[in-house]
Amino acid sequence: MKPGRQTIILEIIENQNIETQNQLLDALAERGIRSTQATLSRDIKDMRLIKEPGPNGRSHYVRPPESAQAHDSRLQKILKESVLSVELAQNLLVIKTLSGLASGACSAIDSIHIEGLVGSLAGDDTIFLAMRNEDVARSVLSELRDLL
């Protein structure tokens, strides 16, 4: 369902100037796809959609440039090869890595610009991610586990 929905989202933003998530939800509904704002927000984040100024001066959603997609692929590879586990401890995520790789993995995570991330700290083989609250931490935990 997710890949199909995301494919349709890409078709919509390529054919229409979609400025808001509500407009995108409406466009999906017109195609018979029901979604929540939270799910749509995750899709936008997963697909790395960006906003750029349109002909009317208002910003609309577009695909990221190919270089950004290649960058994302490298980040995912860094995380897959270095991260051993991700655990939740209230609003903290504790990420265990191979020895000596926590700093590089943490840098990769920082570059993702996770909404709700208050701060990060890396040691030799452990990363602590302080999230705004426990709900955000659970959501990011799920996203990180999907990446791995």
Domain ranges of the chain: 2-62, 66-147
Can you tell me the distance from the alpha carbon of 44 to that of 77, in angstroms, rounded to the nearest whole number? 21
Average pLDDT over the chain, rounded to an integer: 86
The structure's pTM equals 0.54
- Residue 38, classed as helix, strand or coil, is helix
pLDDT tens digits along 34-92: 999 888 988 888 888 888 887 777 888 888 776 445 556 677 788 888 999 999 999 99
User: Phi-psi region for residue 87, left (φ > 0), alpha (ψ -120 to 50) or beta?
Assistant: beta
Compute the CA torsion angle 129, 130, 131, 137 (nearest 10 deg).
50
- Residue 60, classed as helix, strand or coil, is strand
Beta-carbon contacts of 10 under 8 Å, excluding residues fewer than 6 positions away, are: 47, 63
pLDDT tens digits along 115-129: 889 999 999 999 999
Architecture of domain 2-62: Orthogonal Bundle (1.10)
**CATH fold of 66-147:** Gyrase A; domain 2 (3.30.1360)
